Amino acid sequence: MSKLTLDRILQSQGFGTRKWCSELIAAGEVSIAGETITDSRVAIETSGLVFEIFDESWLYREHVYIALNKPADFECSRKASHHPGVLTILPEQFTRRDVQPVGRLDHDTTGLLLMSDDGPFIHAQSSPKRHIPKVYVATTHDPVTPELVAKLLAGVKLHDEPATLAALTCRMPAPHQLEIVLEQGKYHQVKRMLAAAGNHCDALCRSQIGGLKLDALGLAEGEWCYLDDAQLALLAPT
Same domain (yes/no): 121, 173: no
- CA dihedral (37, 41, 47, 52) positive or negative: positive
Last residue of some domain: 17, 33, 59?
59
Last residue of some domain: 59, 75, 107?
59
Higher-confidence residue of 104 and 230: namely 230
Q: Write out the DSSP string of 8-38.
A: HHHHHTTS--HHHHHHHHHTT-EEETTEE--
- Sequence-ordered list of residues with C-beta below 8 angstroms from that of 16, at least 6 positions apart, any chain: 10, 24, 96
Last residue of some domain: 19, 42, 59?
59
Residue 40 lies in a domain: yes
Using the predicted structure, report yes or no on whether residue 38 has a pLDDT greater than 80: yes
Higher-confidence residue of 128 and 218: namely 218
For residues 63, 64, 65, 71, the Cα torsion angle rounded to the nearest 10 degrees is: -150
Count other Cβ atoms within 10 Å, centred on residue 43.
12
Using the predicted structure, report yes or no on whether residue 22 has a pLDDT greater than 90: yes
Same domain (yes/no): 15, 117: no
Same domain (yes/no): 88, 100: yes
Same domain (yes/no): 137, 205: yes
Same domain (yes/no): 49, 84: no
Percent of the chain with pLDDT over 90: 84
Residue 238 lies in a domain: no
Residue 162 lies in a domain: yes
Q: What is the CATH number of the domain that holds 186?
A: 3.30.70.1560
Same domain (yes/no): 55, 73: no
Q: What is the CATH number of the domain that holds 17?
A: 3.10.290.10
Same domain (yes/no): 41, 150: no
Domain range for 46 is 3-59
Q: What is the CATH number of the domain that holds 220?
A: 3.30.70.580
Residue 150, SS3? helix
**Which residues are paired to 203 by β-bridges?**
139
Same domain (yes/no): 100, 158: no
Backbone angles phi, psi at 235, to 5 degrees: -80, -5
Q: How many domains does the chain have?
A: 3
User: Order of strands, edge to edge, in the sheet holding 50-53?
Assistant: 35-36, 30-32, 50-53, 56-59
Residue 172 lies in a domain: yes
Give how far the C-alpha of residue 160 lies from the chain's centroid of Cα atoms, to the nearest Å.
28
pLDDT tens for residues 190-205? 999 999 999 999 999 9
Residue 31 lies in a domain: yes
The mean pLDDT of 31-41, rounded to a whole number, is 95
Using the predicted structure, report yes or no on whether residue 1 has a pLDDT greater than 60: no
Residue 96 lies in a domain: yes
Same domain (yes/no): 98, 216: yes
For residues 167, 65, 127, 219, the Cα torsion angle rounded to the nearest 10 degrees is: 20
* Rounded Cα–Cα distance for residues 204 and 111 (Å): 8
Q: Active-site positions?
A: 106
* Rounded Cα–Cα distance for residues 143 and 173 (Å): 11
Same domain (yes/no): 118, 156: no
Same domain (yes/no): 12, 33: yes
